[in-house]
């Protein structure tokens, strides 16, 4: 299906000519699931179109719309994104602020901030009311587009122009923009403004600034933020502790363990991220048995491994030449649908081939080709050719075909 045809379906909210009866009756939840796994932008548009007339709320369509936009953006089809999102202006829901906000958000996801700003300024013409809802989405779109330096100007100008006050979420996004731009000092200045205007300062706000100071290597300033957070009674929470842990994860494992114990003593429950940092610390210090123990004990701690857990452990197991163990961890990542990235698996399959574990290496290939998007499948196929696995696969197929041709006696 061509992109223009797919876009016509999106505009007219009709798929009768393009979809089979089974596709036409797909549920909204099933559509979101299919979109998450679909990497072809035209097919993504088709899936979205098949249910676009049955979304009963902006929230129910938001994720499906964003998945579709992400697929188009990855293919650099920005004019198609504009056509796709512009078609939503014809919807009867356009006068609902959350619905229009979802369009602004999608433009942010695509990194098309000027388009997001344009539709925000069109709200009067479209008959859509303004509040901090759409304003906060606009600021987020600016951050998503990595135009951090524009956020303070928008923050100061738009509420005055349209007559409303920023809330704690608005300030949170503003502070994040300063921190992403490497200016946590300016973020601290805005905290004073929040106090003067009696706007609630959240633990997340403090944690954002804390992380930025650590990232800049300003440890003393980070400690002052931590102390101020404690004095004000804003935590610290698990997220703040994880930021603190992250900045010592390559050092002494005992220091990480001490912080995790401190969390527990404070009545907080360390999460998977906390234990990932401990595991990483052990890995970086060459203590692989201890790292594996952290991984194996996650379940008893009430946590589940995530993609970062598998990626980190497999990488360091390979680095230590433990490819067979790495393969076992890989199989577990497949079982729980948390497969690591291409680079990590490339490292593993190369090691398996070096160790003549060809059956395992070929098994990895079959899994990767089922789970990875087309561009990575192509790269993996090339890797198999370089490693000689493609010839082995072809040889196995010939033997199998020959066996089928042997007549029974």
State both tokens at 204.
């997340």
Average pLDDT, the chain: 87
3-state secondary structure of 139: helix
**pLDDT grade for 31, boundaries at 50, 70 and 90:** confident
Rounded CA gap, 243 and 354, in Å?
38
Q: Report whether 209 contacts 189 (CB < 8 A).
A: no
Q: What is the 3-state secondary structure (H, E, C) of 303-369?
A: CCCCHHHHHHHHHHHHHCCCHHHHHHHHHHHHHCCCCCCHHHHHHHHHHHHHCCCHHHHHHHHHHHH
Which pTM value belongs to this model? 0.81
Residue 23 reports pLDDT greater than 50: no
Q: Report whether 44 contacts 35 (CB < 8 A).
A: yes
Write b or e for each residue in 11-24: b if 16 or more Cβ atoms lie within 10 A of its Cβ, otherwise e: bebbbeebbeeebe
Residue 271 reports pLDDT greater than 70: yes
Rounded CA gap, 172 and 180, in Å?
12
Residue-level pLDDT at 98:
92
The 8-class DSSP code of residue 54 comes to G
Domain boundaries, the chain: 27-165, 322-389
Measured CA to CA in angstroms, residue 121 lies from 79, 117, 351 at distances of 20, 6, 56
Residue-level pLDDT at 393:
59
Residue-level pLDDT at 361:
95
Per-residue pLDDT reduced to its tens digit, 380-409: 999 999 999 877 655 454 434 434 444 443
Residue-level pLDDT at 19:
38
Q: Report whether 231 contacts 203 (CB < 8 A).
A: no
Write b or e for each residue in 372-397: b if 16 or more Cβ atoms lie within 10 A of its Cβ, otherwise e: beeebbeebeebbeebebbebeeeee
Q: Report whether 175 contacts 187 (CB < 8 A).
A: yes
């Amino acid at each position: 299906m061509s992109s223009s045809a797919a876009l016509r379906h999106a505009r007219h909210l009709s798929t009768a000519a393009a979809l089979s009866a089974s596709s036409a009756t797909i549920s909204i939840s099933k559509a979101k699931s299919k979109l998450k796994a679909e990497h072809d932008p035209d097919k993504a548009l088709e899936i979205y179109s098949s249910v676009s007339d049955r979304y009963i709320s902006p929230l129910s369509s938001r994720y499906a719309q964003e998945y579709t936009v992400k697929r188009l953006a990855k293919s650099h089809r920005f004019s198609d994104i504009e056509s796709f999102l512009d078609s939503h202006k014809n919807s009867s829901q356009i006068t609902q602020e959350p619905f229009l906000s979802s369009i602004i958000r999608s433009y942010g996801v695509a990194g098309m901030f000027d388009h997001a700003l344009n539709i925000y300024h069109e709200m009067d013409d479209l008959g859509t009311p303004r509040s901090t809802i759409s304003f906060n989405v606009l600021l987020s779109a600016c951050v998503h587009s990595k135009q951090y330096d524009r956020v303070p100007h928008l923050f100061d100008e738009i509420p005055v122009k349209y007559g409303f006050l920023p809330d704690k979420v608005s300030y949170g996004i503003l502070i994040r923009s300063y921190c992403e731009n490497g200016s946590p000092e300016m973020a601290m200045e805005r905290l004073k403004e929040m106090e003067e205007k009696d706007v609630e300062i959240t633990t997340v706000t403090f944690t954002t600034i804390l992380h930025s100071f650590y990232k800049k290597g300003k440890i003393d300033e980070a400690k002052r933020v931590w102390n101020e957070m404690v004095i004000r009674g804003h935590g610290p929470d698990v997220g703040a502790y994880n930021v603190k842990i992250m900045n010592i994860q390559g050092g002494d494992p005992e220091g990480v363990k001490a912080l995790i114990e401190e969390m527990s003593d404070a009545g907080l429950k360390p999460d998977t991220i906390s234990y990932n940092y401990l595991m990483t610390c052990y890995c970086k210090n060459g203590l692989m048995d201890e790292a594996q123990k952290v991984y194996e004990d996650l379940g008893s701690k009430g946590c589940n491994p995530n993609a970062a857990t598998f990626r980190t452990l497999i990488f360091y197991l390979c680095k230590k030449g433990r490819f067979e163990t790495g393969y076992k961890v890989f199989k577990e990542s497949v079982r729980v649908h948390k497969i690591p990235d291409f680079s990590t698996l490339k490292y593993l399959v190369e090691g398996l081939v070096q160790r003549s574990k060809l059956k395992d290496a070929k098994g990895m290939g079959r899994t990767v080709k089922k789970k990875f998007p087309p561009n990575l499948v192509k790269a993996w196929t090339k890797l198999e050719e370089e490693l000689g696995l493609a010839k082995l696969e072809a040889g196995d197929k010939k033997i199998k075909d020959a066996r089928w041709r042997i007549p029974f006696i």
